[in-house]
Structure 1
Amino acid sequence: MSFNRNLLNIIIVLCVCLSWDCNEGAQEREKREIDSHTIQLSSLFPSSSSCVLSSRASKTKSSLHVTHRHGTCSRLTSGKAKSPDHVEVLRLDQARVKSIHSKLSKKLTDRVRQSQSTDLPAKDGSTFGSGNYVVTVGIGTPKHDLSLIFDTGSDLTWTQCEPCVRSCYSQKEPIFNPSSSSSYYNVSCSSSACGSLSSATGNAGSCSASNCLYGIQYGDQSFSVGFLAKEKFTLTSSDVFDGLYFGCGENNQGLFTGVAGLLGLGRDKLSFPSQTATTYNKMFSYCLPSSASYTGHLTFGSAGISRSVKYTPISTITDGTSFYGLDIVGITVGGQKLAIPSTVFSTPGALIDSGTVISRLPPKAYAALRSAFKAKMSKYPSTSAVSILDTCFDLTGFKTVTIPKVAFSFSGGAVVELGSKGILYPFKVSQVCLAFAGNSDDNNAAIFGNVQQQTLEVVYDGAGGRVGFAPNGCS
């Protein structure tokens, strides 16, 4: 009897131990699943599938479809996605980042205003860049649908206009002709709006027969010069605005090929959100699509905004500029918070930008991110760097890839977990890179770029002085 009791006790102890071991193993597996993404390798690369429209943009009032400039869904590509030259994309991206850093460094010093030429404006403003997203907006009466790149780092909305006095670059849609619109009129050079061009474009307005001329030149030498005008803008059938200021460019050159112009979503009083503030209260949101065969949305006002949005205050680092500033307080990789001193982020500050492709981090923060990411990716062979991306992997022979989750913590308690498409930048199967880069200087601001924003709902509440994030924003 005693023997049987002892045997029973041993069996119970063994079962309990095995149970604990199993539970520990299950917990480890569960933790790995929670802290990582396992994705099909093929999902990182463009497919030739037909365009899938965002239901949010189709159903929500004041909402426009967002497409990538070179995507399957774009009006500019006739349903055939054009693969961009990735090295050129990154070269232009670096030019934009340098321009942003230059603009931020100048904001604390007095600028020397040069006399304005009607031929070419002073060299100021942000680089246009290359990783751009497009919406279609109606301009004029009758309305003329035009594809505009939207940019949170720019203020003045402008489009190419007939007649092209000097030159116009090639665009897909017919160039807007103001003489065919009954709602178009030029703005006087004595108007307050003309005086506002200095803050909106970096260049003072000038006069031509009492009409106000604007000029904006980007860091890559692209430019637009023309008349500051007022016109009717139609977003949707129910969202029509009379008399909005915009630039009617009669001399335009640069990297805008295909698109008609730019929709400025910055913080200046001439920006689109500021001009429509009585309707939308300076609030808009967007979701950038995860691939060329999907659309996202750009929505004005508070309609449809997710209840799960977490907000962070707009920081003062970008006051006096177009940009929306952020305060980054931490980064987590694979569930582990990186040991980065708070001053690494607080000293240079940070901003969010829809036109920068790859997020930039202070050198010490990037080094910590890279080290932690490589440790979690140790089973995948490393390969050579490409341009600004120095942490790359050869995924030849793999059907799936497991990558550590990456999350950013911002002031105010907002924690933003990146989608799987926001972590890697694929060139080819044998060269898939970590989609982050380090700044060259500790004093340069961090930039939260558009690869990292993909599939997130990003909310800009200008009146409330905050920016918000929520997952699954395109659905």
Structure 2
Amino acid sequence: MVSMSPLYALLVLPLLLFTFADLCRSQNTTTTEYLKLPLLRNNPFASLTEVLSYDTHRLSVLHNRGTLKFPVVSGAPSGSGEYFVPLSLGTPPQTLLVVADTGSDLVWVKCSVCKNNCSSIHPTAFIARHSSTFSPHHCFDSSCRLVHNHCNRTRRVNTRCHYKYSYGDGSVTSGVFSKETTTLQTSSGREARLKNLAFGCASRISGPSLTGATSNGVMGLGRGPVSFSSQLGRRFGNKFSYCLRDYTISPPPTSFLTIGNDVVRKTSRMSFTPLQTNHQQPSFSYYYIEIQAVSVNRAKLPIDPSVWSIDESGNGGTIVDSGTTLTYLAEPAYLQVLEAVKRQVRLGYDLCVNVSGMRRPRLPKLSFKLVGNSLFSPPPRNYFIEAAYGVKCLAIRPVTSEGLPSVIGNLMQQGFLLEFDNEGSRLGFSRRGCAQP
């Protein structure tokens, strides 16, 4: 599937002051467990061109609270740059593979309205008629106002809430905004059934980013009220974490999306930077961080700090996005980084370097100083990807469209344990903790 992040995918929502408490009524109790889902990904891309095409069309200490862990798998073998998680919906449960996306909010899955021979469709789509707990939101429910909808004001009986979720490349998912029971496994292996998860039951999917996709939907993990992490937040501490394992390893290792506090964090030596808020565009629920300086081989680059700021119109800034593959930097910063890299290595066509015959090629080391006096220093393999044998290419590109933020993509995040702490309004990261099962 093509990438799903709202760098190129902006959720169309009105500015609302409604709460989402009705979606969390069944989640008021707390436990000492957490949710853990596997993050799934496969083999590397065949070429940098393939990655660029993917991104261009794209729309991932217990405090007496529960925690859930989800396995995460890479989609690279099918030409996709996303990480997938399994999501079980309905009674009995139907399990679908969805994109883990910190750059969007809505949870949605492909839905089928089939009446006969449905076994040939499952598990590529959710079959609502096979679930005894499926329930559409009514058009006049307060929760329906949290999504772009078209209510028929002349009909007040049996009017379903219809949503429409649009992305910047013109891709659209639409259908019925619904609620359903989701079945999850806690850290102890106990089954947890959570009621009233709000999600989009998609009957129509269009556009280059969604048609022909390898996933069955999207698990939005953004900061908005309809995201998966926000809906589970009250019960699980309003935080989640993940580690994206190296996609070049074969067979691909499984990593995990953790909803809640994981004991791994106690030994991970986390660094923290505060999450920023875009006050001009509060409906865009990105995870903004603020870069103060960039260095190449410890030499600070003369980049104007205003390049990284969110301006008075709400443009710019920097977001952390599991759904975008490459890293995109504001063009003035990108040009400085590119020039510094060129001084260290000879970059050829498509920003690639020949490293054949080199056992340990010496590539420039990039580091980002963040607000909070923290330093994010990914290894060169996070931004030099092997496009062919003996050829490594720079996996950083400029932001050329006015108003879009810079993006720290999932390749740059590899090998780091990242904790998105909405309660503390901060992002934690550490090079330790990723090897934990």
Query: What is the alpha-carbon distance in structure 2 between the residues aligned to residue 83 and residue 447 of structure 1?
Result: 20
Query: What is the alpha-carbon distance in structure 1 between the residues aligned to residue 45 and residue 101 of structure 2?
Result: 21
The Cα of 1:443 is off from its aligned counterpart by 5.2
| Residue identity matched to 2:277 | T
Contact 1:194 1:205 (8 Å CA) reproduced? no
The Cα of 1:460 is off from its aligned counterpart by 0.7
Q: Which of the residues 387, 410, 419 maps onto 1:459?
A: 419
| Residue identity matched to 2:203 | E
Determine the structure 2 residue equivalent to 1:272.
228
Q: Which has the larger radius of gyration?
A: 1
Q: Which of the residues 240, 244, 267 maps onto 2:197?
A: 244
Q: Deviations over 1:310-352 (max 9, x none)?
A: 1111112363312111101011222222222222222532111
2:265 maps to 1:306? yes
Contact 1:362 1:441 (8 Å CA) reproduced? no
2:9 maps to 1:64? no
Contact 1:160 1:175 (8 Å CA) reproduced? yes
State the TM-score, normalizing by the size of structure 1. Answer: 0.70
Judging changes above 3 Å, is the alpha-carbon distance between structure 1 residues 94 and 262 closer, same or farther for their aligned structure 2 residues? same
Alignment of 1:307-346 (within 5 A): 307=266, 308-317=269-278, 319-346=282-309
Secondary structure at the residue paired with 2:182? strand
| Residue identity matched to 2:296 | V
Q: Which of the residues 131, 135, 149 maps onto 1:204?
A: 149
Determine the structure 1 residue equivalent to 2:327.
359
Contact 2:114 2:127 (8 Å CA) reproduced? no
Query: What is the alpha-carbon distance in structure 2 between the residues aligned to residue 350 and residue 174 of structure 1?
Result: 34
Determine the structure 2 residue equivalent to 1:187.
137
Judging changes above 3 Å, is the alpha-carbon distance between structure 1 residues 157 and 61 closer, same or farther for their aligned structure 2 residues? same
Judging changes above 3 Å, is the alpha-carbon distance between structure 1 residues 172 and 131 closer, same or farther for their aligned structure 2 residues? farther
Contact 1:265 1:271 (8 Å CA) reproduced? yes
Determine the structure 2 residue equivalent to 1:140.
90
State the TM-score, normalizing by the size of structure 2. Answer: 0.75
How many residues are aligned here? 358
Q: Deviations over 1:157-189 (max 9, x none)?
A: 111112169xx9x98834221111121111111
The Cα of 1:272 is off from its aligned counterpart by 1.0
Query: What is the alpha-carbon distance in structure 2 between the residues aligned to residue 281 and residue 260 of structure 1?
Result: 28
Alignment of 1:9-48 (within 5 A): none
Determine the structure 1 residue equivalent to 2:407.
447
| Residue identity matched to 1:436 | I
The Cα of 1:246 is off from its aligned counterpart by 0.7
Query: What is the alpha-carbon distance in structure 2 between the residues aligned to residue 130 and residue 406 of structure 1?
Result: 26
The Cα of 1:214 is off from its aligned counterpart by 1.2
The Cα of 1:220 is off from its aligned counterpart by 3.5
Q: Deviations over 1:90-116 (max 9, x none)?
A: 1231344xx7xxxxxxxxxxxxxxxxx
Determine the structure 2 residue equivalent to 1:23.
none
Judging changes above 3 Å, is the alpha-carbon distance between structure 1 residues 189 and 443 closer, same or farther for their aligned structure 2 residues? closer
Query: What is the alpha-carbon distance in structure 2 between the residues aligned to residue 151 and residue 466 of structure 1?
Result: 18
| Residue identity matched to 1:306 | R
| Residue identity matched to 1:309 | M
| Residue identity matched to 1:298 | L
Determine the structure 2 residue equivalent to 1:397.
357
Alignment of 1:369-388 (within 5 A): 369-377=337-345, 381-385=346-350
Judging changes above 3 Å, is the alpha-carbon distance between structure 1 residues 304 and 419 closer, same or farther for their aligned structure 2 residues? farther
Determine the structure 2 residue equivalent to 1:263.
219
Which consecutive unaligned segments of at least 5 residues does structure 1 have?
A: 1-59, 72-80, 100-128, 198-202, 386-390
Runs (4+) off by over 6 Å: none
State the identity as a percent: 30
Contact 2:89 2:183 (8 Å CA) reproduced? yes
Alignment RMSD (CA, Å): 2.6
Determine the structure 1 residue equivalent to 2:382.
422
Q: Which of the residues 153, 165, 168 maps onto 1:219?
A: 168
